[in-house]
Amino acid sequence: MKLPGELPIRVLSHNVRHVTSAPWKGERPWAERKQLLLNEFEYHTRRCEDTFLCLQEVFHNQLVDILAGLNPDTSPEVLDWAYIGVGRDDGHEAGEYSPIFYRPSAWDLQHWETVWISETPEKPSKGWDATSIRIVTIGMFTHRASGYTVLAMNTHLDNDGSHARFEGARILRAKIREYSEGDFGSRISGTFLAGDLNSAENQEAYSELTAPGGLRDPYKLVDSSRRYGHYNTFTGFGYEDNPPSRIDYILLSEGTMAWKVDGYAVLENRFDDGVHNSDHCAVVVDLTLSS
């Protein structure tokens, strides 16, 4: 039961691993992984209408599969789930998306945009020492029942370019500041940033984003006895040289209201069938916006 003045929200972030013609050892095709991911999304959103799904490494055909899987019994005119986002390579359907999925019955989309992590953030472009084009998807959502407005952001920073990750973190902080000081500022109840930062806690992107005056990490706002699941979020498919690491996050910034962290979890990505649904684990945070 929702208490007066409070809004419970669940955010799930998962790098789903793109479709590739050169799979890693231990990696199974998308056709074998997609239902496992859809089952994860369905289970963890079933009783929480106000959930946001923030995904990374999603090619267009995967986006189509996920959207269809989330809407098995609805007509194209009235979808249970919708999304915002574009392919990073051309601003349309080419390259990886960083989409944000939401339920239109719960959230009214006010505004959204894609920003490129580069020196020319208004158009498809690669920045600094990055090996890939990188983006952040930004949406302003107003909760239909309560009227609270959430600034939602979803990104995937570069895996190779350290300078690009640092500059990307600066762009992300600047966009949050731009929104909070702009026309939307007085309406933003709270802000979250989800994504694969390709940065451990002692590295550039995380350090810059969580520097004084920046974002807060829900992992550190929950007592260790109440965290659920794994610490590491990147696992690989079992044969990589890179060790498991924590590089996927959901970070928080307060607006006109305060975030309360009710729960933090890193889910499993492989069960009895032995199939990894991705080389990353999902991060789930349960939050409450309260005055």
The radius of gyration of the chain from alpha carbons, rounded to an integer in Å, stands at 18
Residue 162 lies in a domain: yes
* Burial group, residue 75, by CB count within 10 angstroms (0-12, 13-18, 19+): exposed
Rounded CA separation 253/191 (Å) = 5
pLDDT tens per residue, range 23-67: 999 999 999 999 999 999 999 999 999 999 999 999 999 999 999
Residue 2 lies in a domain: no
- Check residue 4 and give its pLDDT: 55
Q: Count how many domains the chain has.
A: 1
Residue 140 lies in a domain: yes
Average pLDDT, integer, range 128-134: 98
Domain coverage including residue 265: 10-290
pLDDT tens per residue, range 140-168: 999 999 999 999 999 999 999 999 999 99
Residue 290 neighbours by CB distance under 10 Å: 17
Residue 217 lies in a domain: yes
**Does the pTM exceed 0.95?**
yes
Per cent of the chain over pLDDT 90 is 92
CATH of the domain at 258: 3.60.10.10
Residue 158 lies in a domain: yes
Q: At residue 1, does pLDDT exceed 50?
A: no
Residue 275 lies in a domain: yes
Whether the CB-CB separation of 27 and 276 falls below 8 Å is answered with yes
pLDDT tens per residue, range 200-240: 999 999 999 999 999 999 999 999 999 999 999 999 999 99
Residue 188 lies in a domain: yes
Residue 5 lies in a domain: no
